[in-house]
Structure 1
Amino acid sequence: MTSASRREIFKRSVLVFVFFWFFFGSLAHFLFTRAEAGIVPTYIPFHRLDVYVSGVLEMLGAIGVLFKRARSWAGIGLFLLTIAVTPANIHMAMHWRSYPEVSPWILNARLVFQVIFLAGIWWSTGASKYYAPFYKGKH
């Protein structure tokens, strides 16, 4: 097996992980709405609505990565959505005493995972092809 084919298998595996993460994560927004709304920082209004909207966006993004024509755009959307929910994750890590059911090390590890996961979303969905001209100085 060539290194290119191993890389393609790994890329496909990351893409499958991205799909499952967001597909099942989106379901949690509707099945466990109260818990999901409970992690939204207090300075962000409309907690339930935010949970429902982000759940719909996660579901659309997960479905989008399944289709080659939509994959890059879905990847960009999921990348931006992941950044948009980062304040909730940071809030939980900073106020870990308010979340006794979750170990503080998990809350902090999630922030590290999120950075790695963002790279995985970007790479596996091919979202970088829309950024490449800017990156290479070809605006």
Structure 2
Amino acid sequence: MVAPEQSRWALVLTALFFLTGGVLHFVLIDYFIAIMPAYLPWHRELVQVSGVFELMGALGILIPATRQWAAWSLIALCIAVFPANLNMALHPDHFSNIPVVLLVARLPLQLLIIWIVAKAGGLPNRSV
């Protein structure tokens, strides 16, 4: 059941987004390895670990008892994978099959994803 402060559309979108992403980390592992910044070690292992955490978060967000914990974990994951997105934007020549505008546009989209995850998890909406 979704509490009033949670959003059903955000819950479904979050679960589908991270479930798909998690599966793709194993199906398209070479693609995800290619977007890893060179300064990070263990590319394959980090891709696999992030894929597992995406899958766990997608399932955890659906379970009321683990929903908030999963939301916070998925937000942390979004922050952790940001360097790979930034790496793509900084090196568009390595990703010539993706328009540069999309590589740059996905950076602020991380904030939108984080906001949707917070809505899905029913996290407190606090203003500064």
> Deviation of residue 127 (structure 1)?
2.9
- Tell whether 2:120 aligns with 1:127: no
Q: How many aligned positions are there?
A: 125
Aligned counterpart in structure 1 of residue 52 of structure 2, from 31, 56, 75: 56
Percent of aligned positions that are identical: 35
What TM-score does the superposition give when structure 1 sets the normalisation length? Answer: 0.84
Q: Which amino acid aligns with 1:40?
A: M
Q: Which amino acid aligns with 1:59?
A: L
> Deviation of residue 28 (structure 1)?
0.4
8 Å contact kept, 2:61–2:120: no
Q: Secondary structure at the match of 1:60?
A: helix
Structure with the bigger RCO (C-alpha within 8 Å, sep 6+) is 2
- Tell whether 2:33 aligns with 1:67: no
Quote the Cα distance in structure 2 between the aligned partners of 1:50 and 1:128. 30
Q: Quote the residue 1:79 is aligned against.
A: 75
Moved over 6 A (4+): none
- Tell whether 2:98 aligns with 1:102: yes
| Contiguous gaps of at least 5 residues in structure 1 | 1-7
RMSD: 2.0
Find the structure with the greater CA-based Rg.
1
> Deviation of residue 119 (structure 1)?
1.1
| Contiguous gaps of at least 5 residues in structure 2 | none
Quote the Cα distance in structure 1 between the aligned partners of 2:35 and 2:122. 31
What TM-score does the superposition give when structure 2 sets the normalisation length? Answer: 0.90
Q: Secondary structure at the match of 2:7?
A: helix
Q: Which amino acid aligns with 1:66?
A: L
Q: Secondary structure at the match of 1:128?
A: coil
Q: Quote the residue 1:116 is aligned against.
A: 112
